[in-house]
Structure 1
Amino acid sequence: MNLISEKNLIHTIHEIVKRDGFVIIPEWGAFFLQPTAARWDAQKQIFYAPGYQLLFNARIKNNDGVLAIQLSKKFKCSYLDALQEISTYIVRWNAQLYQWGNVKLDQLGLFVLQKDVIRFESIWQANVFPEYFGLQNLTLNDYSNDRGVFFSYPTLTASKHFSTVVKTLVLVPLALTLALLPSKINNYRLNQGQSASIVQKIKLHQFIDNPQDISNSIDTLTNFKVALQMNSKEQIKNEESVKKEEKTTVGNEENKSINQKEIISSPQHKYFVIVGSFANEKQVNDFLASLKAINVDGLVLNSDGKRRVALGSYENRTDAQHALDEFKTKNPSYSGWVLNW
């Protein structure tokens, strides 16, 4: 009758390897622990917690006495009796290994004999160690990367309520925003390169195919660019509103004196190369001064309360577009478009 059962032997091996990280089974091999870092398996969608991996080396077989001493103390037997009990199980394990090609030891792993070499596959549970208490492997459920944004709107019982909500929640804030925008942007300044990049992103030249329908949009964008270029520390006082007239005046402007030439709207419209649109004379003067610095004389068109600065007038769109392209090639920081008046 064996003094030490196989279960008790394996349990003692567990105790020593957890305590010392290393244990030798005489004439069988050595178990030792190797720390493993946390890792993520993207294919299996599993997060593996940190722990220890139990490894086996069949070449280390020399008895160091640690396992036999532990068994003799634990089961109240002599050192030689403990060695004899270990040897008995080693003979049994070797017989199974060479007869069946493998032997499985509970709580340790599977030993497989391949070409006279013992291969070990561990079934060690890593989370039995105190320093990794509470850390477990985590498997994520399948998920989709598709993301959608959904908007919900209140259901109104009567159409008159819908009209009131739209006016209150949409039109009023929009009107306030548009009213405050000009006073806000005058406090900022961009250098020439930055303003050029803004204009390039806007790509005003894409709108030349239909200038009349989008003239208001282009004027707004141009005003935004010029307002950013200004370095006004004080708010420019609002000038008196200009009455909308059906007449359009064209003239050369220097400083504040404008020699105006009045043109009555007629069936024969001309094509103007517009490079700026402003709300007051100070902005026009500053812009004309910047054009003067590059040896360009601008024309000023006054219509419907807007002041547009043009390079010149042409009889057809082809000539006007050619002049605009040539101007933008020489002066890439400026934007422009063709307008038919």
Structure 2
Amino acid sequence: MFVSMQLATYIKDLLYRYECVIIPGFGAFLTQYQSARIDDETNTFYPPSKSLSFNRQLQTNDGLLANYVASVEKCSYEVAIQKIRNYTSKAALQLSEGETVVFKHLGEFSLNTEKSLQFTPFETENFNTASFGLSTYTSTKVNREVYKETVENLEEKAPIHITPERRAFKPYLKYAAVGLIALTLGGFGGMKLYESKVQKHNFAAKQEADNRIENQIQEATFVIENPLPAIKVTVPKQKGNYHIIAGAFRMEENAVNKIEQLNKKGYNAKLIGVNKYGLHQVVYASYENRREALQQLRNIKRTENEAAWLLVKDLSK
């Protein structure tokens, strides 16, 4: 059994932030949101989570995993690619020999009888950061029918009989009940009358406060004789959560120069901010559709920049 523990750790870290992590030449791990649910058979409550799956068809390198490995292990991008290839080569060899490849905290891979790759995810990890600290909870089943049957059995064994003599012996109970009903109705009517008066008082107070505020606003209104001309500023709106990274620069002026170069080539290049390493990130363009972003990424890697990669990030937050 081959265990790729280190690579699995990097992939697990990325799955908390991204919906797709591609292992070049091997496949892609995908996460999908799942709402909270209840298992009726086991009475278990599950918090919101992200289900983990694997797609063998997505093998094209998008640079995400390689760049992360390079940053964590402080090596070059090319060395990181080679390390990933070493992992996938060992995994492919073990699978061909009929063994199971385990990715810690993620799942295990094996080949079926038809030599197709099978992935079985583990359910120990919840990649939904919004559910951090929440765990599954199992509750004992409440069977109300048992209690009902118990009461019915007790009534059969010890029935309660009210004889005429007992009713006549305590006639004051009837009048006490009538008096209690009268007091309850009287108290309820008084409470409704009190609530009505309170509502009328509150409405009158609110009207008076609104009038005072309106008068103060009118008194504070003034006119500017020579107003300044209005300035219309057009700010380009960032659209899409899929960004093709062209490069990251320590100096902002270098990033601006890169944007000018790419715009001259026809790209919609722009800055998307500073990453956690203090580098100014420049993108070729941003896309709302992941499939379109991946298609453009392949074209750019083939014709423009082999080191370009895809960043999945919501810039509106």
* TM-score (ref. length: structure 2): 0.45
Higher radius of gyration, 1 or 2: 1
Asked which structure has the greater RCO (Cα within 8 Å, sep 6+), the reply is: 2
